[in-house]
Every structure is written in structure tokens, then in C-alpha cells.
């Protein structure tokens, strides 16, 4: 994402090409708070595949008073049942993940060279335990 931003900055400086406009994060309520889906993931904004096709919830909100907690945030992985509910199968997850990566590329959020490494990351991130139809 940083490389794409620098790419667009360079294009703007050299030939005046404006950077692509990205969607804003959605806010609701009074006082304003970030609108979130049922899994606590922010709505709107830049949608990298890890956000668009999540396997867990990421947050930058500090979870403990430790000074390092301010720097790293946290990740809470979804249960296998939740992954199954969202995607049904590894193949469906990977199909949706690739579509999200291609959409991010088309939006100018990532560069073409970033797509294949993102796809490999998505494939490696899928739960190693068998996620298929619920067993009885």
C-alpha cells in the first residue's frame, strides 16, 4: 500500500496525474463512531483483501496498558465455525480473496507486483484444520 501511494505521488509530481480517490470510512451515531459489521470490522475505507475477506478481526485499539500494545494492536482469529459460515470452503475463500486483491489493484491501492504475494499470503492464512461441512 505504501508503494502504491508513493507511485501515485511520483506520478502526480512528474506529470500531474492525480492519485485515485479512495472511499472514506463510514461513520455513524452521535458522537461519531466508526460503523462496523457484525465482526467488528470497519465499514468503508480502503478494502485490502485481508479486510474484505477476513479470517479474523484486527484492531489498532490498545488492549492493555503495556506501552508496546500501543504499537502492535491485536488480532483475534475467527473460529473455524465462523470461517465456515462466511466462506463455506477454502476454494470459495480463495476465489473471494483473489477478487478482493484484483479490486484493490484496480482501485490503485496496491501495485500489480503486489497481487501474487497477497494471494500467497491469503492461501497460507486459511486455517490448517479442515474447514468443510459441519460434522455431526
Q: Could you give the CA distance from residue 134 to residue 4 in angstroms, rounded to a whole number?
A: 41
Residue 14 lies in a domain: no
Q: What is the pLDDT along the chain (136 residues), one digit of tens a residue?
A: 678 888 878 888 999 988 888 889 999 988 899 999 999 899 999 999 999 999 998 877 767 777 776 777 778 899 999 999 999 999 999 999 999 999 999 999 999 999 999 999 999 999 876 545 444 3
Residue 9 lies in a domain: no
Residue 117 lies in a domain: yes
| Three state DSSP letters for the chain | CHHHHHHHHHHHHHHCCCCCCCCCECEECCCCEECECCCCCECECCCCHHHHCCCEEEECCCCCCCCCHHHHCEEEECCHHHHHHHHCCHHHHHHHHHHHHHHHHHCCCCCHHHHHHHHHHHHHHCCCCCCCCCCC
Residue 82 lies in a domain: yes
Cβ contact 75:58 at 8 Å = yes
Residue 34 lies in a domain: yes
Residue 121 lies in a domain: yes
Residue 87 lies in a domain: yes
- Please give the residue range of the domain that contains residue 87: 21-125
The pLDDT of residue 59 is 77
Q: Could you give the CA distance from residue 104 to residue 115 in angstroms, rounded to a whole number?
A: 9
Number of domains in the chain: 1
Cβ contact 23:107 at 8 Å = no
The pLDDT of residue 15 is 94
- Model confidence, pTM: 0.82
Residues near 36 by Cβ (< 8 Å), separated by ≥ 6?
A: 42, 43
Amino acid at each position: 500500500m505504501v508503494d502504491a501511494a508513493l507511485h501515485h505521488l511520483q506520478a502526480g509530481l512528474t506529470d500531474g496525474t492525480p492519485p485515485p480517490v479512495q472511499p472514506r470510512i463510514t461513520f455513524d451515531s452521535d458522537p461519531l463512531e466508526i460503523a462496523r459489521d457484525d465482526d467488528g470490522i470497519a465499514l468503508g475505507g480502503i478494502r485490502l483483501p485481508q479486510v474484505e475477506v477476513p479470517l479474523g478481526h484486527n484492531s489498532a485499539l490498545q488492549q492493555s496498558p503495556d506501552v508496546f500494545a500501543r504499537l502492535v494492536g491485536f488480532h483475534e482469529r475467527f473460529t473455524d465455525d465462523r470461517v465456515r459460515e462466511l466462506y463455506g470452503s477454502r476454494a470459495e475463500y480463495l476465489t473471494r480473496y483473489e477478487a478482493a486483491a484484483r479490486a484493490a489493484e484496480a482501485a490503485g491501492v496496491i501495485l500489480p507486483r503486489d497481487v501474487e504475494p497477497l494471494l500467497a499470503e491469503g492461501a497460507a492464512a486459511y486455517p490448517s484444520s479442515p474447514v468443510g461441512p459441519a460434522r455431526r
